[in-house]
A and B are shown apart, each in its own frame.
Chain A
Amino acid sequence: MRDALSISMQASNALVAVLVMVALIFAVLGAAAGETFYLRLATEAMIFAGLALSVDILLGYTGLLSLGQALYFGLGAYLSALVLIESPSFWAAMGAALVAGIAVGLIGGFIANRVRGVYFALITFGMAQVAARAVYNTRAIGASDGLIGVPIVNINLGVTSVSSASPAGFFLLVLAMIVVLYAVSAYMLETPFGRLLIAIKANDRRVPFLGYHTMTVRLGSYVFAAVIATLSGALYPMLRGFVSPELLFFSTSGNAVIAVVIGGVGTLAGGLYGSLLLTLLKSVVGSWTEHHLIVIGLLFMGAVIFFPKGLAGVLRPVVERMLAIGKP
């Protein structure tokens, strides 16, 4: 179906394709140079890009600002770590994360979706805070130290196998995962269900009169976003070998929101670009000073005031024209 929304999504897809091409070149060069640090940094950026994706689905498409997506990211990370410590199976870890994302997402979504707007933001904030404190205080999962000793994982893909120890290999795997998550999200948002989410964001008071129970629809979006976040989180311990309560703290949720705003709210691609940009910024600024948050905070405020559309938001119309599929 060719309408303004589909065209915009196609432009987003094009932007992601560009990103993937650049990433592939980067991976090849990095592997050739025997580089480790930057590949690992880029991998981490991609993992958090998944979290940013989950924030954008809620904020940019359903109109819900979640300040607690880190809850699901951390859930996925911890669960993955626990599974991997028991038995280093990539698919088991991902499977566990998927199930947990659906289950906890339903519970969290049921609580949070009874309200909207500011109240929704505050409830999601509160949920993540409570969960973070709970994890911080639980001896069984390492309390404030977290869990260490996550083993190296060999991911069997049939034709080949990738080890999480290989910087370039694992980077490509994570890239592939995130692209898959992006693709599923882009598909979902183009279905009538996804269009319902967009309708809810556009005018949620009218939607019940079209015959839909908005709370159920929003719950669906919330669970979807939760699963995206848990699956992304599950990749984290494979990269770093440990998990800690910081993953559930507000700063993680906050960073994801910043990435989405800077990258471009409501573009899906924006979360990916924003996450990479943010990681780059943090590492560059972080090399001069420990206080990179001041710079990032100022940049973020600047984006909110002067560039609310974000990077992808500004690029998309350009891409739309370039692909010669202009508006009627």
Chain B
Amino acid sequence: MNVPVLEVRHLAIRFGGLRAVDDISLSVARNRITTIIGPNGAGKSTLFNLICGALRPQGGAVFIEGVDLTGAPPNRMHAAGLARSFQITNLFFELSVAENLRLAAQRLEPLANLLLPTNRSRTALARSAELMERFGLSAKAAYPVGKLSHGEQRRLEFAVALASRPKVLLLDEPTQGMSHGETEDTAALIRSLTKDVTVLLIEHDIGLVMSLSDHVFVMHQGQKIAEGSPLEVRANPTVQVAYFGQA
């Protein structure tokens, strides 16, 4: 019984003449950190969009725990245990930090609790408090998200994705715009998750990629150009050409 928790086969999508994602196949190992890297425009975020249901693939398939969920909408993917964070912060800016997290954690409650007073959703509220603690946002619990600093928003973006206890977490450049210290904290957090969560990560910070990843997947112009351990990938001449123009 060794079904990969997430697998995509021959995924493809084009926008007009541009093949944004071109025949990508990837098998994500359970409870490991797999990082997708590649120069700008490689199609990494588009791949995320295809996996989580934001975009419908024009070719290929997406399997979660062996179940074919190709073309399912984002809420179905979420129900299957997939959650994602966004590269451009995509939170509820007018609402408070606590409310954002509670909304995200509400899925932990039975459906009927939607119609009961909110303070009966104890699990969701507890989860929200727990995450605020873990991500250092408790002091700003009642602040509208729009008033947070960029780094705090990125941390919240991560926390919101984590709130519903997903099986697979897709993190799209979680440390983008963060200070060095914040980046370190985030890296430690990601590593601490792998007991129960499988992480698929898009990252540009090479140091982070090297130190965090169990497996690296390199994309360039919509296609896969290399795959392997961090050291293997770094030494790979094709990867060097893609990034630097020369080996």
* Residue positions of A touching B, CB distance < 8 A: 1, 3-5, 187-188, 190-193, 195-196, 198-199, 202-203, 205-206, 208-213, 327-328
Contact = CB atoms under 8 A, between A and B. Distances in A.
Contacts of B106: 192, 196, 210
B90 A191 contact: no
Range of interface residues on chain B? Answer: 35 or more
Interface of B: 52-54, 73-75, 78-79, 83-84, 90-96, 98-99, 102-104, 106-107, 109, 113-119, 121, 124-125, 142, 144, 160, 164
Nearest to B53: A208
B141 to A, nearest CB: 8
Nearest to B104: A210
Contacts of B73: 208, 213
Contacts of B90: 203, 205-206
A211 B79 contact: yes
24 contacts: A3-B96, A5-B95, A188-B115, A191-B116, A191-B117, A192-B103, A192-B115, A192-B118, A192-B121, A195-B103, A195-B118, A199-B103, A202-B93, A206-B90, A206-B91, A208-B53, A208-B75, A209-B83, A209-B84, A210-B75, A210-B103, A211-B75, A211-B164, A327-B142
A199 B119 contact: no
B93 A192 contact: no
B75 A213 contact: yes
A4 B115 contact: no
Given A190-B118, A191-B117, A192-B106, A212 B75 contact: yes
Interface centre among A4, A187, A211, A212 (most CB of B within 10 A): A211
Contacts of B118: 1, 190-192, 195
A210 B116 CA distance: 19
Given A208-B73, A211-B78, A328-B142, A192 B114 contact: yes
B161 to A, nearest CB: 8
A210 B164 contact: yes
Nearest to B52: A209
A193 B112 CA distance: 10
Contacts of B54: 209
A148 to B, nearest CB: 41
A255 to B, nearest CB: 29
A188 B83 CA distance: 28
Contacts of A1: 117-119, 125
A5 B103 CA distance: 13
Nearest to A208: B74
Interface centre among A188, A196, A210, A328 (most CB of B within 10 A): A210
Contact of B93 (A187, A190, A196, A203): A203
A326 B70 CA distance: 49
A4 B96 contact: yes
A202 B75 contact: no
A203 B92 contact: yes
A192 B79 CA distance: 18
A320 to B, nearest CB: 14
Given A209-B52, A209-B74, 11 more contacts: A191-B118, A192-B113, A195-B102, A195-B103, A199-B92, A203-B91, A209-B83, A210-B78, A210-B104, A211-B164, A328-B142
A198 B144 CA distance: 14
B228 to A, nearest CB: 30
A194 to B, nearest CB: 9
A209 B160 CA distance: 10
Interface centre among B75, B84, B96 (most CB of A within 10 A): B75
A210 B99 contact: no
A120 B85 CA distance: 29
Contacts of A328: 142
Contacts of B84: 209
Nearest to B74: A208
- Across the A-B interface, the 9 shortest Cβ-Cβ residue pairs: A211-B78, A208-B74, A193-B114, A202-B92, A211-B107, A328-B142, A1-B119, A192-B114, A208-B75
